[in-house]
Chains A and B, each alone.
Chain A
Amino acid sequence: MFVDAGYVALPIAMIVSGYAVLASILGAWQRVPALALSGRYGLYTVPAILAVSTAALVYAFVSHDFSVKYVAENSNLAMRPSYTWVAFYAGNAGSLLFIAIVFSLLAVGAVASMAKRLPYTSPYAAGLMAVFLTFLLGVIVFLANPLERLDFVPMDGRGINPLLVHFGMFIHPPVQMTGLVSVAVPFSIAMGAMLARRGGRDEWVDLGRVWGMVSWLLLTVGLLLGSWWAYTILGWGGYWAWDPVENSALMPWLAMTAFVHSIMVQKRRGMFRMWNIILISTAFFLAQMGMFINRGGPVPSVHSFAQSTMGWLFLAFMVATLLGSLAAFAWRVPTLRSRERLDSALSRESAFLIQNALFLTAAFVTLWGTVFPVFSEVSQGVTITVGEPFFNRVNGPILLAIVVMMGIGPLLPWRRASWSKAFSLLKYPLAAAGGLTLILAVAGVREPLSLLALAACAVVVAGIVHEWIRGVLSRHRRGESYPYAFIRLLSGNRPRYGGYVVHLAIIMLALGVIGSSFYSVQRDFTMGIGDSASIGGYTFKYVDIERTSYADREEIIAYFDLYEGDSHLGVVGTQRSIYPDFQVGATRAAIRSTPLKDFYIVPSEFADDGRAVFRVYVNPLVWWMWASGPVLLLGTMLALSPRRGPAPARVSIPIRTRAVRI
C-alpha cells in the first residue's frame, strides 16, 4: 500500500509543479501577486510530495518487494542493505526520481533565497525551475515510473550492477546528477531577471554567482569522484578516457567555470551582461546535452543507460529551452548593453574574456568529439568514434593556456595596466617559473610540454603566494602575528582569496594530470605464486591467493609483498570478481599511493593454479588529484561564506519607488 501511495504521489507532484509554472509566470506577468505567491507555495510542497514516492521506493528495496519492476531489476536478496542507496539510482527510472526530488529541493532553496531580495525576478525564476521539474516528473509518470508493478512476483531480483558495488558509487553519481540539474538554478535566475525586465540591472548577479558556484562545486566534486572511481575500479590504470558520459559532465563544467569567473566582471564593473546570459544558457544547454547522452541518446558510451526514446525527449526539451532562451535574449538584448567598455587589452577584464573564450573552445571541442560518431553515421553511414588522442591533442594546449591565464589574470588590475606595471606584478611569478624550469631541466626533465605545464603551474602558485606574503607582511607591520595576519587576510576578502585556494586546488589537480600523462610507466607481468618482478623502483612478490564464493559472485584476491628498494611497504591485495548473473568480471586494483607516485596493480583472469597476467602501472603525482578535492571544497566554501561582522550600509542613490497593492 505504501508503494501505491508513492505511485499516486508522482502524478500529484507533476500536476502541482505544472500549476507552479502557470501561476508563477502568469501572476508575475499579469501582476497578480496572490497568483504568483500561490505558484511559489505550490512549488514549496513538491519536495514533500516527492518524499513520499522516494520513501516508498526505499521501502520497496528494503522489504525486497520484487513485485516492483525497478526493485527486481536493480537488487536481489544478496545485496547488502547499505547498497539500497546505490540501487535507488542504479537504473534510469530511479535516477530520474532522484534528480527530481533533489532538483525540487534546490528549486525551493533558490526561490526562498530570492523571494525577498529579487521580488520581480523570483516568480519568473520559480516558473522556469518548475518547467524543468514538470518535464522531469512528466517523463517519470509517463515513461519511467520506478514504482511500476510487475504482473508476477519473482522469487529474487536480478541484483545491482557489479560496477556500482564500490564506495565511490555512494557519492559520485548523486553528486554528478545533482551537479548537472543544478545548472538549471542559475540559468533560471538569469532568465527570470530578463523576463522580469530586470536583466539590465545587476541585482541578480549576487545570487546568480552564489548558485553558479554551488552548481560548479557539485559538478567539480562529481567529476573528481568519478575519476577516482574509474581509477580504482575500472582497472585500466587511468582516471579519464574521454568517454561520452565523462565528456557530458565535463562540458557544462567548462561553461560553468567560465560563468563563475565572468559573473565577477559584471559584479565588479557592470560589464559582460550579454556574455553572462550566453554563458549560463550555454552551460544549461550542455548540461541537458549530458542528460540526453546519459538517458540513452544515440552516442555510444560504456556507461550510459540503455538506448531509449527517453533520450530524444531530453533532446527535444533541450532544443525548446535553447529556442526559448534565444527568443528571450533577442527580446531584451537592447537593455543588456553595458556602458562600460574594455579600456585596455592589458587588464583583468581582458584576461577574463580570453580565459572565457578558452573554456568555451574546450567545451565545444569536447562536444564536437563527443557527437562526431552521430555525424559520421549520418553523413558517411559509418560510426567513427573520436578517441583519446584527438581530445588530448586539441584540448591539451587549450587547458595549458587556461592554466597560464589563471596565473596572469588575477594579478592584473581592473581597467588597465601599463606594460611596466604588468611586468612588475608578474616578475616574481615569472622568476619562480623560470627557476623551477631550470631546476627540473638540471634534474633531468626533458619533455618540453611537461616543463611548460609545470612552469605555468609555478606562475599560478607564485602569484598567489606573493600576494599573500605582501598582505601578511602589511598586517604584521600593524602588530598582528603571522598566522593571525594570514587568517585575517583570507577572511577579509573571502571571494578573492577563496578563489585563490580553489586555484591552488586546480594546480594540485594539474600536477596529477601532468605526472600521469607524461611519466606513467606500464607493463604486463605473467606471474605465479612465489614469483617476483620489478618496475619503477618497486619490487613485488606474489605471495598468496584467496578464493571466496558469495551468493552473487566468485571473488579472487591475489596478495603481493611490496618493496621500494630494500624497504618493505606492506602487503597489497588486488581482486577480481565474477558475477554469473551479469556475465561480467569486475576488478579492483591494489594501489599504494604516495604524494610522489602510485604503485597500481590489477589482474586479468586467474588460472586454476593462481597464475595470471598482472598489469602494473607506476603513476607519478596522481595522489595530488585526490588531495585537491578537500582543498577545492574548502576554497569554494571560503568564497561563498558570508563576511563576519556587519557590512557597511550599501550606498544607494535615493531613487524613489512606491509600494502599491495591485
Chain B
Amino acid sequence: MLVLIVVLLALLPAAAILYPFLKKGAGAYYEDEDETSTAAELSRRWDSAIAGLRNTELEHAIGSLDEQSYALLREQYMTEAALIMKTMDLEEEQEQALRDQMDTQARDVRSRILGHESPPGEADRCG
C-alpha cells in the first residue's frame, strides 16, 4: 500500500513535468527587444509621459495642483508624447487614435474623482 502511495505521489509531478514536452507547441516566447534598444527606450518614455499625464489630471482633480502648474505640467507631458510619436514615424490615423485614447484616460481620471465628465472643450486640451 505504501509503495502504491509513493508511486502515485511520484506520478503526479512526473506527469506535470513531462506534459509540456509531449504537447506540441506548449509555451511560446515572443522575440523580445533588448531593453537597451531605442524602441524599448521610446516605449519607456511613452509610458512615463502617459503616467505623468494621468497623475497631473489626478492631482488637479483633487486640488493639489493650481491651474498654472497644471497647464505647465500638462504641456510638458503632451510635448514629450508628441515627440515620441514623431520619432516613431506613425501614420496620421495611428497618432489620432493615440490622442483619442489619451483623452479617454484623462476623462476617466477626472470622473473618478469629481464624479462627472469634464466640461466640453476641457478634454480637447488633451490632444
Residues of A within 8 A of B (CB): 1, 4-5, 8-9, 12, 16, 19, 23, 31, 33-39, 41-42, 44-46, 48-49, 52, 119-120, 197-202, 267-270, 334-335, 339-340, 411-418, 421, 425, 467, 470-471, 474-475, 478, 480, 485, 488-489, 492-493, 496, 647-649, 651-655, 657-662
Contacts and interface: CB of A to CB of B under 8 A. Distances in A.
Contact of A653 (B18, B19, B88, B112): B88
A200 B51 contact: no
A36 B27 contact: yes
Nearest to A271: B48
B82 interface: no
Contacts of B35: 197-201, 335
A559 B111 CA distance: 60
Contacts of A480: 115
Contacts of A202: 44, 47
Contacts of A120: 29, 32
A647 B26 contact: no
A201 B40 contact: yes
Given A1-B2, A4-B2, A12-B10, A657 B17 contact: no
A415 B115 contact: no
B79 interface: no
Contact of B43 (A201, A418, A649): A201
Given A5-B5, A197-B34, A425-B64, A651 B102 contact: yes
A34 B64 contact: no
Contact of B62 (A270, A470, A651): A470
A334 to B, nearest CB: 8
Interface in B25-75: 25-36, 39-40, 42-48, 50-52, 55-56, 58-59, 62-66, 69, 73
A488 B115 contact: yes
A589 B73 CA distance: 59
A60 to B, nearest CB: 15
A224 to B, nearest CB: 30
Nearest to B63: A470
Contact of B101 (A1, A5, A421, A649): A649
Contacts of B20: 33-35, 37-38, 41
Contacts of B115: 474-475, 478, 480, 485, 488-489, 492
B32 A661 contact: no
For the complex of A and B, 8 pairs with smallest distance between CB atoms: A33-B27, A492-B112, A475-B115, A37-B20, A41-B16, A37-B27, A270-B48, A653-B46
Nearest to B18: A38
B84 to A, nearest CB: 7
Interface string B73-108: 100000000001100101000100010011011001
B62 A467 contact: yes
A5 B9 contact: yes
A651 B116 contact: no
Most chain A beta-carbon contacts within 10 A, residue among B9, B36, B56: B9
B106 to A, nearest CB: 9
B7 to A, nearest CB: 10
Given A5-B2, A34-B20, A653-B84, A49 B98 contact: no
A156 B17 CA distance: 43
Most chain B beta-carbon contacts within 10 A, residue among A52, A268, A415: A415
Given A1-B1, A23-B17, A340-B48, 8 more contacts: A8-B5, A45-B12, A46-B13, A48-B12, A199-B35, A411-B64, A471-B62, A657-B33
17 contacts: A8-B5, A9-B9, A34-B27, A269-B48, A339-B44, A412-B64, A413-B65, A414-B56, A425-B64, A478-B114, A492-B113, A653-B85, A653-B88, A654-B94, A655-B33, A660-B28, A662-B29
A36 B26 CA distance: 10
A480 B16 CA distance: 54
B110 to A, nearest CB: 10
Most chain A beta-carbon contacts within 10 A, residue among B6, B105, B113: B113
Interface residues of B, number: 66
Contacts of A38: 16-21
B28 A33 contact: yes
A9 B56 CA distance: 55
A452 to B, nearest CB: 26
Contact of B88 (A31, A46, A471, A654): A654
Nearest to B99: A651
B114 A475 contact: yes
Most chain A beta-carbon contacts within 10 A, residue among B18, B58, B62, B105: B62
A120 B115 CA distance: 39
Given A4-B2, A31-B29, A421 B13 contact: no
Contacts of A654: 88, 90, 94
Contacts of A8: 2, 5-6, 9
B59 A414 contact: yes
Nearest to A655: B39
A653 B98 contact: yes
Contacts of B62: 467, 470-471
A418 B32 CA distance: 43
A49 B27 contact: no
A425 B64 CA distance: 7
B101 to A, nearest CB: 4
Most chain A beta-carbon contacts within 10 A, residue among B18, B42, B64, B105: B64
Contacts of B88: 653-655
Most chain B beta-carbon contacts within 10 A, residue among A44, A268, A480: A268
Contacts of A662: 28-29
Contacts of B98: 651, 653
A9 B8 CA distance: 10
A119 B102 CA distance: 27
A269 B27 contact: no
Nearest to B5: A5
B31 A660 contact: yes
B118 to A, nearest CB: 12
Nearest to A36: B27
A52 B9 CA distance: 9
Contacts of A414: 52, 55-56, 59
Contacts of B30: 119, 657-660
